[in-house]
Amino acid sequence: MADDSKALVQWSPSFVEELLPAAQKTALLYNLSYLCLANFPTLERIIRTRAVETQLLFGSSDATMLKCILTSENLVQSLFPMLEKAVEKNKPVLAVKYLEKARAWIKDIIKDVDRIVERYDLHNKDVATSTSDVIKEKLDTEKVMKEKDQELKNNEEALNQLKAELQKASTELAEVEKKINAKSQELQGFSRSITQTSKGLGIFAALVPFIGLIVKSIYDAAKDHEHSAKMKALEAELNNLIADKSVLKNKEWQFQLQIIDWQMKVSKASFERSSIPDPIHLSEVQNSLTKIQAILIQLKNFWESVAQMLDSLEKKTFVGEDLIEDLCELKDEFVQSIRAAKVAWGCFAAGCNKASAIFKLNTRDAYKFLEVSPSSLSKEEWAKEYDSVKKQLEELGPPKHVTSPETPAIEN
């Protein structure tokens, strides 16, 4: 069982992996915005206010992830053991009662995530308003400035060229992601068609929403070599697309780093001229917040699919009289599926735990820069702080797709 648990880790939903760079990037971009608006007290206060609001929002997000952890643990420690007993004692009515209780837990999570997603939407609009405030003050302050110096002009031209390159790379990445989604659906459709011909695999597929485990189970139980060959061919095509995606994500990330670097050069040039820089980093904060919001929406969609899965399991397995008889015949397979599901959900809880730790860290430590006003820094201190944040951004890379050599590289 220990080996199974280790192999299951990468089959939990992967969206949690995206949270850490998005949350860290948000804090670092706030820090840059704070530094770039030094000596403009009104704008400093705007940034400080929005950053504190983000901290509070991350605290609420942590509470939501905690609820996901507790629900996952309840599934492992309460629902699955109760289902196992109900199956062993041939009491489908009792199983239905337990499944209804689990659906109530999940319904509560979906409502909670809905509320937090709405708060992100409102907060992002506030940040957008702050960006407009900065732009307005910049325009009012710089009415007397008619020409930019050559260095600033060159930096902006280089920045625009890099943005065009980034757009091209992002478009290529989006196309590959479409192909991955299409191939994943093809693989899932084929694997589901196989599980429908086997009651044992069908029960396992109803309990475990992680496609990788279903594919592995099909391999373990495979008797039709033609099915296995097609499955492997689909996996090979999918893995090639995932490899292409990894290359493109790294390419996109390098362009993003170069753009941030040139944005810094533009900001430095503006800072030396004592003019208000464009709120470029504050705009990027909006993008990071939108990314986190999208991840939470994925979390909500995941729980909705689990709720539908449990509903289907109840109606098809525990309510229909003909299937109750099948349940008695397949008791051993059902119990084995429940035990495997415990391990899978334990891994998912661990992933949510990681997300909770990310929100806690970014609530507590990532915004300590707000304790010092950037206008109080000397030029040397300002440059040192600026370079430090720049280095941290450079070290912050895109999430890596990690696979086990024992299992196919399928993204959930």
DSSP assignments along 128-142, one per residue: HHHHHHHHHHHHHHT
Amino acid identity for residue 342 in this structure: K
> According to the model, what pLDDT value does residue 93 have?
80
Backbone angles phi, psi at 295, to 5 degrees: -65, -40
> According to the model, what pLDDT value does residue 230 have?
79
Residue 316: exposure state from Cβ atoms within 10 A (0-12, 13-18, ≥19): middle
Backbone angles phi, psi at 400, to 5 degrees: -95, 140
Residue 222: exposure state from Cβ atoms within 10 A (0-12, 13-18, ≥19): middle
Whether the CA torsion 357, 15, 109, 294 is positive or negative: it is: positive
Largest CA distance in the chain: 85
Alpha carbon 219 to chain centroid, angstroms: 29
Nearest to 283 by CA among 32, 42, 56, 15: 32
**Structure token pair of residue 82:** 């109760």
Cα-based distances in Å from 385 to 36, 230, 380: 11, 56, 9
Contact 162, 251 (CB under 8 A): no
Residue for token digits 């590959």? 176
Q: How far is 145 from 132, CA to CA, in rounded Å?
A: 20
> According to the model, what pLDDT value does residue 94 have?
80
> According to the model, what pLDDT value does residue 412 have?
36
**Structure token pair of residue 373:** 């006003």
SS (HEC) of 8-49 = HHHHCCHHHHHHHHHHHHHHHHHHHHHHHCCCCHHHHHHHHH
Q: List helix spans (H) across 273-373.
A: 280-313, 321-329, 331-364
CB count within 10 Å of CB 121 equals 12
Q: How far is 199 from 312, CA to CA, in rounded Å?
A: 15
> According to the model, what pLDDT value does residue 407 have?
35
> According to the model, what pLDDT value does residue 175 have?
92
User: What's the length of the chain?
Assistant: 412
Mean pLDDT, 10 residues at a time, the chain of 412 residues: 35 62 86 83 84 85 85 84 81 80 87 89 85 76 60 80 89 90 80 65 59 63 66 83 88 86 76 61 79 83 79 61 54 76 79 80 79 87 89 72 36 37
Q: Which helix (H) or strand (E) holds 53?
A: helix 41-74
225-257 burial by CB neighbour count: b if 16+ within 10 A, else e?
eebeeebeebbeebbebbebbeebbebbbebbb
> According to the model, what pLDDT value does residue 200 have?
59
Nearest to 407 by CA among 6, 2, 139: 6
| Radius of gyration, CA atoms only, the chain | 26
Q: How far is 39 from 284, CA to CA, in rounded Å?
A: 22
Q: List helix spans (H) across 196-224.
A: 199-207, 211-221
pTM of structure? 0.63
> According to the model, what pLDDT value does residue 336 have?
77
